[in-house]
Structure 1
Amino acid sequence: DTLPDKPADQLNLADKVHIVMALLTDDTDTRKKDIAHQYDIPVQQLDTWKKHYLEGNWTALMNGTNPFCP
């Protein structure tokens, strides 16, 4: 599976969900480290995104932004 090809600061909600879905199918330390390296973010950030996803906390995944406001 291909992950979004953009810097971490440009990832939107759909991109983060895509990444979390990849982790749900392969949640090994190696996979996490590879993804974290690809986006130059800490592995803990991926764990946080996964936690927010599983809790249905969409606002947190959007970094507090509102998709309905410009």
Structure 2
Amino acid sequence: MITPTSCGHKNPFYAPSFRKSPSVARRRAEGRTTKEIMRWLKRYITRQLYRTLTAAHPVPATP
């Protein structure tokens, strides 16, 4: 996974490592624009973050 600290760029979306990633290349081959790829990436990150947070803090069942 690409993080802001791992890519060495202040904005990871414009870092060379992001542009060369296999998932971006796959989306480019599908004919997606940069804007669409950014939207996909943000949604992916949001889904992963939500799953991580809900797994770490489960809501107790009410009687």
Shorter-chain TM-score tier? 0.3 to 0.5
Q: Which structure exhibits the higher relative contact order, with contacts defined as CA atoms closer than 8 Å and separated by 6 or more residues?
A: 1
Q: Which has the larger radius of gyration?
A: 2
Per the normalisation by structure 1, the TM-score is 0.33
Per the normalisation by structure 2, the TM-score is 0.35
